[in-house]
Chains A and B, each alone.
Chain A
Amino acid sequence: MAAGLDVSRTLTDAKLRSHTLYNLYLHFDRRLKPKNHPLDREECGNLLASIENFEVEPMGKKFVHRFPPEAIDRIRAKELDVLVRFGFNILKGDILTAARYGVWSFHHGDNDFYRGGPPHFWELWEQAQLSGVILQMLTEELDAGLVLCKSLFPTQATLSVSVNRFAPYWGASDLIIRKLNELHRCGWEHVRQNAVPPAPYRGKCKIYRTPTNAQMARWLVPVLLKKAVQRPFRREIISHWRIGIRRNGKPLFEELNSNLEGVRWLESPKGHFWADPFVVEHDGKVWAFFEDQCYATRKGLIACAEIAKGQTLISPAPCLQAPGRHFSYPYVFRDGGELLMIPEARDSGTIELYRCADFPHKWERCALLLRGKYVDTSVWNDAGLWWMLTTSADPDSRAGTLFLFFAEQLTGPWRFHPANPISTDVRNNRGAGRVFFDGKRWIRPSQNSSPVYGHSFTLNEIGMVSTTGYAEQAIREFDPEVLGGIRATHTYNWVPGVELIDGVVARRGDEI
Chain B
Amino acid sequence: MTEKILTRREIPALQKTNVPVFAGFELGATASTTSEKHSFEMQTFAERPAITARAWWRYSGADRPPLRIGLLLDGPELSNVSAAAIEDIQASNFATIELAVYRKSVVTPHPRGGRFRRVTNAH
* Chain A positions near chain B (C-beta within 8 angstroms): 1-7, 10-11, 19-20, 22-24, 26-27, 30, 36-45, 47-48, 51-58, 65, 71, 75, 78-88, 91, 95, 99, 103, 169-170, 172-174, 176-178, 180-187, 190, 193-194, 349, 369-374, 383-385, 392, 394-395, 399, 401, 403, 412-420, 463-471
Known: A7-B120, A55-B105, A469-B6. 13 other contacts (CB 8 A): A2-B108, A3-B111, A4-B121, A36-B49, A41-B79, A42-B78, A65-B103, A87-B72, A173-B81, A173-B85, A177-B85, A183-B67, A466-B18
In the bound assembly, the distance between CA atoms of A41 and B112 in angstroms comes to 23
Closest 9 CB pairs of A and B: A372-B52, A87-B74, A392-B53, A177-B88, A413-B26, A27-B122, A57-B104, A53-B100, A7-B117
Residue of A nearest to B14 (CB): A469
* Chain B positions near chain A (C-beta within 8 angstroms): 2-12, 14, 16-22, 24-28, 42, 47-50, 52-54, 56-62, 64, 66-90, 92, 94-95, 97-105, 108-113, 116-123
Query: What chain A residues lie within 8 Å of B119 (beta carbons)?
Result: 23-24, 27
In the bound assembly, the distance between CA atoms of A95 and B118 in angstroms comes to 35
Residue of A nearest to B105 (CB): A55
Query: What chain B residues lie within 8 Å of A194 (beta carbons)?
Result: 7-8
Query: What chain A residues lie within 8 Å of B17 (beta carbons)?
Result: 466
> How many cross-chain pairs have Cβ atoms below 8 Å apart between A and B?
322
In the bound assembly, the distance between CA atoms of A345 and B11 in angstroms comes to 33
In the bound assembly, the distance between CA atoms of A399 and B83 in angstroms comes to 18
Given the interface pairs A186-B4, A190-B7, A468-B5, the reply to whether A56 lies near B16 with Cβ below 8 Å is: no
In the bound assembly, the distance between CA atoms of A412 and B25 in angstroms comes to 12
In the bound assembly, the distance between CA atoms of A1 and B123 in angstroms comes to 6
In the bound assembly, the distance between CA atoms of A41 and B72 in angstroms comes to 17
Select which of B22, B68, B76 is within 8 A of A80 by beta carbon: B68
In the bound assembly, the distance between CA atoms of A424 and B53 in angstroms comes to 13
> Would you list 9 pairs from A and B whose C-beta atoms are within 8 A, ordered by A residue?
A23-B119, A37-B80, A40-B79, A65-B103, A78-B70, A80-B70, A83-B72, A371-B42, A463-B12
Residue of A nearest to B101 (CB): A56
User: Is the pair B72, A186 in contact by a Cβ cutoff of 8 Å?
Assistant: no
Given the interface pairs A53-B100, A394-B52, A417-B22, the reply to whether A99 lies near B70 with Cβ below 8 Å is: yes
Question: Distance (Å) between the CB of B5 and the closest chain A CB?
Answer: 5
User: Is the pair A39, B122 in contact by a Cβ cutoff of 8 Å?
Assistant: no
In the bound assembly, the distance between CA atoms of A173 and B55 in angstroms comes to 12
User: Is the pair B74, A88 in contact by a Cβ cutoff of 8 Å?
Assistant: yes
Question: Distance (Å) between the CB of A97 and the closest chain B CB?
Answer: 13
Q: Is the interface of B mostly helix, strand, loop or mixed?
A: loop
User: Is the pair B69, A48 in contact by a Cβ cutoff of 8 Å?
Assistant: no
In the bound assembly, the distance between CA atoms of A79 and B96 in angstroms comes to 12
Question: Distance (Å) between the CB of B71 and the closest chain A CB?
Answer: 6
User: Is the pair A414, B26 in contact by a Cβ cutoff of 8 Å?
Assistant: yes
User: Is the pair B77, A383 in contact by a Cβ cutoff of 8 Å?
Assistant: no
Query: What chain B residues lie within 8 Å of A169 (beta carbons)?
Result: 81
Residue of A nearest to B66 (CB): A184
User: Is the pair B100, A48 in contact by a Cβ cutoff of 8 Å?
Assistant: yes
Given the interface pairs A99-B70, A384-B18, A418-B22, the reply to whether A369 lies near B27 with Cβ below 8 Å is: yes
Given the interface pairs A53-B102, A394-B49, A412-B28, the reply to whether A44 lies near B16 with Cβ below 8 Å is: no
Residue of B nearest to A393 (CB): B53
In the bound assembly, the distance between CA atoms of A399 and B53 in angstroms comes to 11
Question: Distance (Å) between the CB of B35 and the closest chain A CB?
Answer: 14
In the bound assembly, the distance between CA atoms of A12 and B49 in angstroms comes to 44
User: Is the pair B16, A415 in contact by a Cβ cutoff of 8 Å?
Assistant: no
Query: What chain A residues lie within 8 Å of B64 (beta carbons)?
Result: 184
User: Is the pair A415, B21 in contact by a Cβ cutoff of 8 Å?
Assistant: yes
